[in-house]
Amino acid sequence: MKRVIQWWTEERRAYLLLVLPAVAVYWAVMAFPTVFSFALSLTNYNGGPVFSNPNIKFVGFEHYLRMFRDQYFWISLKNNTLIILVSVFGQIPLGFLFAYVIHRKLVKFRGFFQTIIYLPCVISTIIVGRLWRSFFSPYGPFTEFMQKFQPGWENELFFDPKLAIVPVLFVILWMYTGTYMIIFLANLQKIDPALIEAARIDGATEWQVLTRIMLPSLSGVIVTASILAISGSLKSFDLLFAMTAGNPARRTSVLALYMYDTAFKHSPKYPLANAISVFMVMLSLVLILLVKLTEAKFGGRE
Amino acid sequence: MMKQVKIRKSDFHPVLRAFVYLMALVFTVLTLYPLLWLVISSLKTNTEFQINILGWPQNPTLNNYPTAWRLAKFDTLFLNSLFFTTVSTLVVIGLSLMAGFAFAKLRSKATPFLHGSFIMGILLTLQSIMVPLFLMSVTTGLYDTRLGVLIPYVGMGLPIGVYLCTEFIKSIPDSVVESARIDGASYFRIFASIVAPMAAPVAVTLAILNVSGVWNEFMLINILVSRDALRTLPVGIHKFSGALASDHGRQFAALTIGLVPMVVFYLLFRKQITKGVSAGAIKG
Amino acid sequence: MLKKSVFFVLVLLLAVSVIVPATLAEEPIKITVLNYFDLTSPGAERELNEVWYEFSVRNPHIIVEREDLFLDAFHQKTEAYAAADMLPDVIYMWPGGRSTSLHTLGLVKDLRPLLGEDAKYYKEAVLAPQAGGYLAQLPSTMTSSHALYVNVALLDSLGLSIPETYEELVAMVPVLKENGLDVILMGAQDDWVIQSCLFSMIVGRLVGDEKLNEILAGEAKFTDPEFVSALEFYAQMYEDGVLNRRIMQTDYAEVNGLFATGRAPFMIDGDWKVGNFLTDVTTGEALIPVDRQHEFKMTIFPAIPGEINKASSSGVVGVGFGMNAKIEAGSAKEAAAWELIKWLQGPEVQKMRLETAGTIPSRIDVTSDNIEPLVVERIRYYEDIAVTTEVLDNIFEGEVYTPINIGLQEIGLGFATPMEVAERTQEAFDAWFARKQQ
């Protein structure tokens, strides 16, 4: 009896001490400012001192309504959706494919490929953005290259509202697949090889091993990867800023760029920017819940 | 060393194999091209670059490097970047493991709420917290100090850190913890001598994520700091991208300077992943 | 014994001779400055020495704590400072545009009273009231946001000459196309370029400042025929082949090399672009070497059919430094800050800027023999301009000119019609106007 009581309070104490530092820093740095921003998104603040300002007052959801009525918001949202799709259905499977192939030693030069595929993630987005910007320029090599096949070919890539985002999607796919490859690789190596060996001895094909053993045990990792992909896609800013800055005519804009535009580029409009960011968070939440539901349905056993 | 089961070559459909090799080749080209371009461009003068953006340099020069280094005071910037990256990463790993252990293995009614709040953090963007952070750092007197930069950097790395650590530690069997408890070990002892060593793989993952995030971080450092003495590499690199003009040659030299440590870091740690993972592999 | 006391007295004397003057000397005054410093500008190194270092040498009792930022980091920091009520004592500002809130919220002082007598050294246009209706910053220069750069040598080789009317320009298009050349180059991938460097001039010609001010006061609309006609003329330029959609995919820096190497005979940009073609002091190279600079001229866009202002260009005063309004009037701090501002726009500094970047001085007493031919050309161009009209992003606030910026790109790409852009701009204006009344 005494032992149980002792155990309980010690656990409590340990819990607090272990958790407190992280919680304290995190709440101070992220949670509180976010709440503050949310509050600000309900006011008419427009630059100048925040606290001693007599002109600030609450205006409710006015900014949110304005956001939903803005066509550029919807264009940005559409682009974000495309990026999410590319991330979740492009980067993750591709990352997994590479990880699998490397792990199962199905190709040569594994070390080299692993390095090469991950390397883009560490290259600063400025470099990548600028290079591809120059590359796709109407006076650049891409145009020259195409003109060898069809003289007088006009580089219309960025002028078609539907196609303008394609080069960007392509670059995104290339840049971040490596992160997922690493994550999958690290987790593939956690799967007990004895299990696989036993299955092979029983005559299972590679495909069966993959679908019956490996994928289910990786389901947790897939969820993690999806969460990272979704949140990363919605926050995606640097690369696009360097490549197109949302142009031409905002057709390659994404929510983060849109927010940046409204908050910083022109007259300070923090409340609107914060409304956008609140929306982004809500959207992320919804999507992640969807992912978790999907996992629950097709669920994995450890 | 783990045993690997031999794959029958016939298993791996040749078309699929060709596809994989092709994709890998495409990746290689796509990755090496920008890097090559970067280095070549850094060897051109600004004038030459504007005339010849994508070709080989006519008169390659190494002048951009020392000039960029001097003008932007890269020595200070470099040290600062190193400092902030290393310290924040270590702290994030430490705090995340602690919290992750608590969330995964200790019982408490607060866990769903606290853990959930960290998950939310993964979704937040920097833009929305920038101005309030600035106001707070000014009010607490931490503006323009090292601590005033470290704390936000740590705070931003914590959500993903706590999430990953919790997931990882959850996969450690409860029996390990319980048997240690029966032997009379305190929770801290369990944490320090059992859980932490096992956590090498997730620590490495966190290290990679955090290092690449902090090293290239640009917006927050400008907001939270005025003194040149505290600034980091990205600030220096951006200095060469002017409003109505750009000194491209020097900017590329600067970018290369900033890139090299990251590449080196990754090459070093790549080996660690495989090592760390096999060390942490769970025996059945 | 004696030695000891002598020694003691000497020490005392020494101490007194040091301490007393120190207390009597001026207390050093500290000033914080937020500066927009462009490490890539040709004069960067000179600026550090001849401007800032020199000031501290001449004014040892004023300690300047300077923070250098640029591009968006600068603007974000400014807004953060404003939000925390922590503006530095001296701050780099635009006459409007992105610094507008500083003007309109009264966060900076009116410098006119401080300028006093010295006003006579500055060109009159420079001292005009700015976005807040008063002189918030002392401009270092005036610029024409529009200029038509001409590669005269290239034109000559094709048997052409500088066009005086728009029709003449259109007539040149087939010849240029035949020779595989573009007509007009612009680095218009960023959305402000077309509005600032081309469209503002068109508006100046077809609409005029008076009408713009009526729109600003809510007495006229963007959707009125005048403004729409400006948009329609702009759209027409594409149809006539004078403008090509490619400009919107051309990077702002990329265009320099293209023009210098004769990709097209014309380029439209602000008059500040000259700086990019000058000799780089550190390498001795130039995009347009000094001996070739006479092959290029600057002029204004040819006559547009239906123009009410002839031979006008859009212009705006340049950037300068302003002073925090919270500094007490008449205090030592104010005097120190004013010393700094005076110095920053003084004759020595303006001369340096003229020599390194070709910046037209706002003072009337600044000249130099050490300037390149293109700079001489720029000054001639600027002084020859008959009429200067407003630049749209200076007279309107961000909320209003952003739809114009985007709309201009959309028209070029065929995504929107002139009327649609006018309507959208009017909508944005109405919302802004309504909010201002509250």
Check whether A135 has a pLDDT greater than 90.
Answer: no
Q: Say if A107 falls within a structural domain.
A: yes
ipTM of this predicted structure:
0.77
Does B135 sit within 8 Å of C285, measured CB to CB? no
CATH superfamily, with its number, for domain C26-141+318-345: Periplasmic binding protein-like II (3.40.190.10)
Q: Does the pLDDT at position B280 exceed 60?
A: no
* Residue B7 pLDDT exceeds 60: no
Whether B283 has a pLDDT exceeding 60, the answer reads: no
Q: Taking CA atoms, what residue in A is nearest to B128?
A: A274
What pLDDT, on a 0 to 100 scale, did the predictor assign at position C175? 93
| Overall domain count for chain A | 1
For B37-86, how does the pLDDT look when each residue is reduced to its tens digit (9 = 90+)? 888 888 887 777 777 766 777 778 888 888 888 777 788 888 898 899 99
Across the interface, whether the CB atoms of B23 and A280 are under 8 A apart is answered no
Q: What's the pLDDT tens digit per position in A261-293?
A: 776 665 556 777 778 878 888 888 888 788 878
Q: Which residue has the tokens 């005036």?
A: C142
Rg (CA), chain A: 24
| Interchain CB distance below 8 Å, B135 and A270 | no
Collect all residues with Cβ–Cβ distance below 8 Å to A157 and sequence separation of at least 6.
A136, A163, A164, A166, A167
Q: Averaged over A82-110, what is the pLDDT?
A: 83
Backbone φ/ψ region at B277: left (φ over 0), alpha (ψ -120 to 50), beta: alpha
Between residues A74 and B239, the one the model is more confident about: A74
Averaged pLDDT, B94-107: 89
Contact A123 B259 (CB under 8 A): yes
Question: Which of C74, C108, C249 to mutate against chain A (most A CBs within 10 Å)?
Answer: C249
**With contacts defined as CB-CB under 8 Å, which chain A residues touch C397?**
266-267
What does the alpha-carbon distance between residue A257 and residue B217 come to, in Å, rounded to a whole number? 17
Cβ–Cβ of A249/C409 closer than 8 Å?
Answer: yes
Say if the Cβ atoms of A249 and C72 lie within 8 Å.
Answer: no
Q: Looking at domain B73-239, which of 2.40.30.20, 1.10.3720.10, 3.30.420.300, 3.30.465.10 is its CATH number?
A: 1.10.3720.10
Q: What percent of chain A has pLDDT over 70?
A: 86
C-facing residues of B in 147-206 (CB < 8 A) are none
Query: How many other CB atoms are there within 10 angstroms of residue C3's CB atom?
Result: 7
* Residue A16 domain-assigned (yes or no): no
pLDDT at B279: 42
Q: Is the pLDDT of residue A10 over 50?
A: yes
Locate the chain C residue with the closest alpha carbon to A245: C190
pLDDT score at B9: 47
What is the DSSP annotation of C315-369?
EEE--EEEEBTTSPTTSHHHHHHHHHHHHHTSHHHHHHHHHHH-PPBSBSS---S
Asked if B158 has any chain A CB less than 8 Å from its own CB, the reply is yes
The CATH number covering residue A285 comes to: 1.10.3720.10
Residue C92 pLDDT: 92
Smallest Cα distance from B155 to chain C, Å: 20
| CA nearest to B54 within chain C | C254
Establish if A249 touches chain C: CB-CB under 8 angstroms: yes
Nearest to B242 among C40, C254, C273 (CB): C40
**Residues in chain C with pLDDT < 70?**
1-26, 39-43, 282, 438
Percentage of residues of chain B with pLDDT beyond 70: 85
What digits encode the pLDDT tens for the residues B203-220? Answer: 887 887 788 788 878 778
Q: Inter-chain contact B280–A190, Cβ cutoff 8 Å? A: yes
In a domain? residue A204: yes
Q: Where are the domains of chain B?
A: 73-239
DSSP A157-179: GGGSTTTTTHHHHHHHHHHHHHH
Q: Does B135 touch chain C (CB under 8 A)?
A: yes
Please tell me the predicted confidence (pLDDT) of residue C170. 94
Q: Residue C229 is which amino acid?
A: S
According to the model, what pLDDT value does residue B1 have?
Answer: 40
Among the partner-chain residues B34, B188, B281, the one whose CB lies closest to the CB of A128 is: B34
The whole domain housing A282 covers 66-298
A219 touches chain C (CB under 8 A): no
Beta bridge partners of C363: C122
**What pLDDT is attached to residue C185?**
94
Sequence-separated (6 or more) residues with CB below 8 Å from residue C153 = C292, C295, C296
Q: Is C280 on the interface with A (CB under 8 A)?
A: no
Write out the residue limits of the CATH 3.40.190.10 domain(s) in chain C. Answer: 26-141+318-345, 144-315+380-437
Q: Does B14 touch chain A (CB under 8 A)?
A: no
Q: Mean per-residue pLDDT for B144-155? A: 90
Chain C: give the shortest CA distance to residue B19, in Å: 34
Contact check, Cβ <8 Å, A116/B24: yes
| Average predicted confidence (pLDDT) for chain A | 78
Subunit contact C257:B135, Cβ cutoff 8 A: no
Q: Helix, strand or coil for residue C297?
A: strand
Tell me the mean pLDDT in the region A153-158.
Answer: 68
Chain A within 8 Å of C254 (Cβ-Cβ)? yes
Enumerate the residues of chain A whose CB falls inside 8 A of the CB of residue B162. Answer: 22, 26
Alpha-carbon C346 to chain mean position = 18
Mean pLDDT of all residues in A146-175: 76
Give CA–CA dist A180/A225, Å, rounded.
Answer: 7
| Disruptive mutation site among A119, A125, A175, A285 for chain B (greatest number of B CBs within 10 Å) | A119
pLDDT at B75: 85
User: Which comes out higher in pLDDT, residue A110 or B207?
Assistant: B207
CB contact under 8 A, A48 and C105: yes
Establish if A146 belongs to a structural domain. Answer: yes
How far apart are the C-alpha atoms of B40 and B215, rounded to whole Å?
23
Contact check, Cβ <8 Å, C39/B71 = yes
**Cβ-contact C227, C422 below 8 angstroms:** yes
Superfamily designation of domain C144-315+380-437: Periplasmic binding protein-like II (3.40.190.10)
Q: Are C132 and C99 in contact (CB under 8 A)?
A: no
Residue A139 resides in a domain = yes
DSSP 8-state class, residue A44: -
Out of A49, A134, A266, the one facing C402 most closely (by C-beta) is A266
Please tell me whether residue C306 adopts helix, strand or coil conformation: coil
Residues A31, B121: C-beta atoms closer than 8 Å = yes
Burial of C430 (C-beta count, 10 Å sphere; 0-12/13-18/19+): middle
What are the chain A neighbours of C254 within 8 Å (beta carbons)?
Answer: 134, 137, 139
Mean pLDDT, chain C, rounded, equals 86
Mean pLDDT, residues B148-157 taken together: 91
Distance CA C2, CA C4 (A): 5
**Minimal Cβ distance to A256: which of B114, B125, B133:** B125
Which region holds residue A47: left if phi is over 0, alpha if psi is between -120 and 50, else beta? Answer: left
Q: What tokens were used for A293?
A: 């539901």
- A192: nearest CB among B28, B216, B284: B284
Which chains would you list as touching B if contact means 3+ CB atom pairs under 8 Å?
Answer: A, C
The predicted pLDDT at position C12 comes to 65
Token code pair at residue A69: 């009525």
What distance lies between CA A56 and its chain's CA centroid?
A: 35
